[in-house]
Amino acid sequence: MKRRKIDIAALPAKAGAEIDDRLQVSSPLRRLFNKVFPDHWSFLLGEIALYSFVILLLTGTFLTLWFDPSMQEVTYDGTYTPLKGIEMSRAYESSLTLSFEVRGGLIMRQMHHWAALLFMAAIVAHMLRVFFTGAFRKPRELNWIIGVLLFWLGFVEGFAGYSLPDDALSGTGLRIAHAIMLSIPVVGTWVATSLFGGEFPGHEILGRLYIAHVLLVPAILLGLIAAHMGLLVKQKHTQWPGPGRTDHNVVGIRMFPGFAAKAGGFFMLVFGLVALLGGLFQINPVWLFGPYEAAVVSAASQPDWYVMFLDGSTRLMPPWEARFPLWPGHHYTLPPLFWPTVVLPGVLTMLPLFYPFIEARFTKDKRAHHLLQRPRDVPTRTALGAMAVSFYLVLLLSGANDVIAYKFHISLNAMTWAGRIGLLIVPPLAYWLTYRACLGLQQHDREVLAHGVETGIIKRLPDGRFVEVHQPLAVPDAHGHTELPYAGWVVPKKMNRLGALVPTVKGFFFPIEEPAKPAPQEERPVGAGTSREEITSSKK
Partner 1 sequence: MSTDTDVDYDVKDPTLSRFDLVKEGARRDGVEIVHYAPRFPKPGTRAERRVERTIALLFGLTGLLGLAFVVAYIWWPWEYQHGTGLDKFYNPVLGLTLGGSLACLGAAIVVWAKKLLPEEVSIQDRHDAPDLDERALTGATIMNMVDETGIKRRPLLKGALLVGAAPLGLAAAAPLVGGLIKKPGNILFETAWKPANGNLIKVTREDGSEVRPEDVSVGGQATVFPGVPHGATNQHADSPVLLIHLRQKDADALRANLKNVAVNSEDGGAMWGNYVAYSKICTHAGCPASLYEQQTNRLLCPCHQSQFQITDNARPVFGPATRRLPMLPLTVENGVFVAKSDFRVPIGPGFWERP
Segment 98 to 117, residues that bind partner 1, using CB under 8 A = 100-101, 103-104, 106-107, 110
Cβ 517 to partner 1 shortest distance, Å? 26
131 or 338, CB closer to partner 1?
338
Cβ 321 to partner 1 shortest distance, Å? 4
Task: Compute CA distances 513 → 41, 74, 502, whole Å.
Answer: 29, 69, 10
332 binds partner 1 (CB under 8 A): yes
Positions in 138-177 near partner 1 (CB under 8 A): 139, 171-172, 175-176
What is the total count of residues that contact partner 1 (CB under 8 A)?
A: 112
Cβ 122 to partner 1 shortest distance, Å? 16
486 binds partner 1 (CB under 8 A): no
Positions in 222-281 near partner 1 (CB under 8 A): 235-236, 244, 247-254, 257-258, 261-262, 264-280
343 or 412, CB closer to partner 1?
412
Cβ 514 to partner 1 shortest distance, Å? 21
The 3-state DSSP class for residue 242 equals: coil
79 or 530, CB closer to partner 1?
79
Positions in 186-215 near partner 1 (CB under 8 A): 186-190, 192-195, 197-201
Q: Which of 11, 226, 294, 358 binds partner 1 (CB under 8 A)?
A: 294
Contact present, 364 and 378 (Cβ < 8 Å): no
Chain center to CA of 511: 35
Would you put residue 375 in left (φ > 0), alpha (ψ -120 to 50) or beta? alpha
111 or 120, CB closer to partner 1?
111
Contacts of residues 474-478 at CB distance under 8 Å and 24 or more positions apart, as own/partner, are 474/525, 474/527, 474/528, 475/525, 475/527, 476/452, 476/525
Cβ 417 to partner 1 shortest distance, Å? 10
296 binds partner 1 (CB under 8 A): yes
Q: Which residues contact 161 (CB under 8 A, 6 or more apart)?
A: 112, 113, 116, 213
Positions in 407-426 near partner 1 (CB under 8 A): 412-413, 416
| CA pair distance 168, 179, nearest whole angstrom | 17
Cβ 285 to partner 1 shortest distance, Å? 11
Cβ 94 to partner 1 shortest distance, Å? 15
Cβ 250 to partner 1 shortest distance, Å? 5
Cβ 268 to partner 1 shortest distance, Å? 3
Chain center to CA of 208: 29
219 binds partner 1 (CB under 8 A): no
227 CB burial (10 A radius; 0-12, 13-18, 19+): middle
285 binds partner 1 (CB under 8 A): no
Cα-based angle 27, 31, 35 (whole degrees, multiple of 5): 175
Q: Which of 7, 12, 22, 318 binds partner 1 (CB under 8 A)?
A: 318
> Which amino acid belongs to residue 57?
L
> Which amino acid belongs to residue 423?
L
> Which amino acid belongs to residue 60?
G
> Which amino acid belongs to residue 335?
P
Of 369, 344, 363, 389, the closest CA to residue 141 belongs to 369
Quick one: which segment of 73-81, 354-362, 490-498, 514-522 binds partner 1 (CB under 8 A)? 73-81
Cβ 141 to partner 1 shortest distance, Å? 15
Listed in order, strand segments (DSSP E) in 10-152 are 36-37, 73-75, 87-89
85 binds partner 1 (CB under 8 A): no
| CA pair distance 145, 224, nearest whole angstrom | 10
335 binds partner 1 (CB under 8 A): yes
Buried b (16+ CB within 10 A) or exposed e, 132-147: bbbbbbeebbebbbbb
145 or 176, CB closer to partner 1?
176
